[in-house]
Structure 1
Amino acid sequence: MENNLVVQSNELVLAAYTMTTKEKQLLLTCISRIDSRPDAPNITKQTKFTVTVDEVAKIFYTDSTKKNAFRDLEQASNRLFDREVLIALEDNKTLRTRFVSGVLYDPNGEQITITFAEDVLPYLTQLKANFTKYRLMEVSELSSIHSMRLYELIVCWVGQYQYTQSMDLDDFRYVMGIKGKYKQFGQLRERVIETAIDEVNESTNYKITVEYHKKSRGKGYEGLTLKFHRKTLDKLTSADGTLSQATIQSIVDNVQFMNDYNNHPSLSYDGKMQTDAFKREMINIIQREPESFNKPNKALESYLPKIKH
C-alpha cells in the first residue's frame, strides 16, 4: 500500500450505497493498493488484492481494540460481497453494480483477497480527470460510516472548486447512503449530520459548518448548507467560523503576495504571466492547498491588513 493513497472517480464518490464502517475500511484499504494513474498497468476482473488483518489493524485500530480486527475483517468481507452501488450516468441513466465480485477469506493467513467487479473498475483505474484522492490515514480516526462518507464528499467538492454545498434533505440522505432512513429531522440531525460533522472537525484536516433551511410553509426543515475549509485556513475565517472570501480576496490583491508567490507550482502559464489570471487561480489554490504557502515568514495571514490599535 504505497503511500496509502485512495483514488476514486467523482462519480463513485457521489454514488449511492449502504455500508458499515468496517466494510468501508476494508474497501478503502483495497482501493489504496490500486495504481490509478492513466499510464498504470491494466487491472482486470482477474486482478486480486490481498489485505492482512495486521495491515488493517495498524491503520484503523488502537492497541486496546486490535484484538477485534480478525473478527471484524471476516464479518466485513462477508457483507461487502453483497453490497451494491448505484452510479449516476449521463442522460439520467443509472449503473447498478457491486464493488467486488469475489472475496477469499483465509483464516490461516489472517488475510482477505478481494476481486473488484468489472463494472466498477473504470471508476478506480487509469483515471485522467474528475477524481478524488486522499491518504488512508486521513480517515483512520473516523469511527462512523457517516463521517467517512461526509469526508469523502468534502474532499470531492473541494477538488471541484466548491467550498459550499446546499441541498434538500432527501438529496443529502441519498449522497450519504441513507435514503429512506432517519425520516424525522431530529434523528437525521442528531445521529447523522451533527455526529459526522463533529467527528470530521475533531479528527481530520477539514472544518465544516452547517446551516439548516426551514420550510417555506409549515413547520420543520427542508434543506441544509454545508460550508467547509481546510483547518490551515482557520486564521482566515469570519466570526461564525466560516471561511471569509473577502479575506482571501484581500490576500490575492496584495502586491507583495503576488511578488512572493507568482512562481507557485500550481499556477498555469497564464497565472504566472497575467495579473487577473493570477488572482483568479490563487483564490482556488489557497483553498485547495493552503499548506503550499510555506515560505519563511510569508504565511497567508501575513498578507492581511495590519489591525490598528
Structure 2
Amino acid sequence: MQKQAFFQIKKEQDKGFDFESIVPIPYVKWADYHDEVTIEFSDRIMPYLINLKTNFTQHALSELAELNSKYAIILYRWLSMNYNQYEHYHVKGGRREAQVEGYRNPTIRMRELREMTDTANEYKKFANFETRVLKEPLAEITNHTSFNVIYEKVKKGRSIESIVFHITKNQVADDISYKLDDPVYIDGKIRQEESEKDLVYEAMKSPYTKLLMEHFLLSYIDLTDTAILSGLQKNVYPLYDELKELRGLNGVKEHLAYIRDKQDDYSKNNIAKYLKKSIEQYLPIVKRQDIDHE
C-alpha cells in the first residue's frame, strides 16, 4: 500500500502546469509479535484526502474496493480527479466553458498514459495495450462504479498520439439538475459544504480522533470519509467533552476501551452512529453515579 499509494497533482497556471508528486504514507511501523500497525499520512496529502482545499483526488473507496485490475484502479483515480473538477466548476464557476467540458472529456497523451500505468516497456503493440490497459479496465470501471466511460483514439500520422475519455455518471434517484442554476440552491449548497469542511478540519485536529485510532475504533480509511469526521465532530465529540469534565481524559479512554471490547461487526459499517449511541447511553449513568456520591 505504501509503495502503490502515489499521487501526482497537476494544476493549471497561466504559463502552463505545475506538478506535485506526493507519497501519502511516508511512515509505516509494524512487528512480527503482534498485529498492530502504525501508519502516518503526509501533511501534504491530507487536504486532498479530507476535502479541506480544492479536493479533486478523493475517491469513492467503496467503488475502488470493487476494482480488481491495477489498470482499472489507476484509470479510475485519474478519471475521478478530472470528473470531480468538472462537477466543482460546473456548479461554482471559475473556469471557461471549454475548460469545464475538458474535465468531463479529458485527454491524455500516450506517453503520459504509459508512464501513469507503468507500461513504457510493456504491450509494445498498441492492440495489446488497448485490450489490457484500456478496454478491459474501462469495462470494469463501467460495470462496478458510478462512471460510464468510453474513449476515442487521436492519431498523428499512423500512430496513436493521445486518448480522449468521455465520462458520464449514473444519476441518483433524485434528479436535482433543475436546481443547478438556482442561486439560492447553489448558495445553500456552498454553505453546507463549507460547514462540513470546518467540522472535518476540527475533527482532524481533535485529540478524540487520535484516541479513536489508538483504540481501533477508527481506521485510516475512515479518515478519508468526510461524513464520518463531520458527524463525530458535531454529534460525538461534544459528549466526550462532557465526560471529560466529569471523569477526566482517562474516563474517556476507559469508555472507549470498554465499547471497543463490546463492539459488534455490524456497528463498523456506521461507526459514528455506534459511538454516538454508546456515549449517549453512558453519560446518564456517570451523572447518576456522581449524584449518588454527593
Q: TM-score, normalised by structure 2?
A: 0.46
Specify which structure has the higher proportion of strand.
1
Q: Which is greater in Rg? A: 2
TM-score normalised by the chain length of structure 1: 0.44
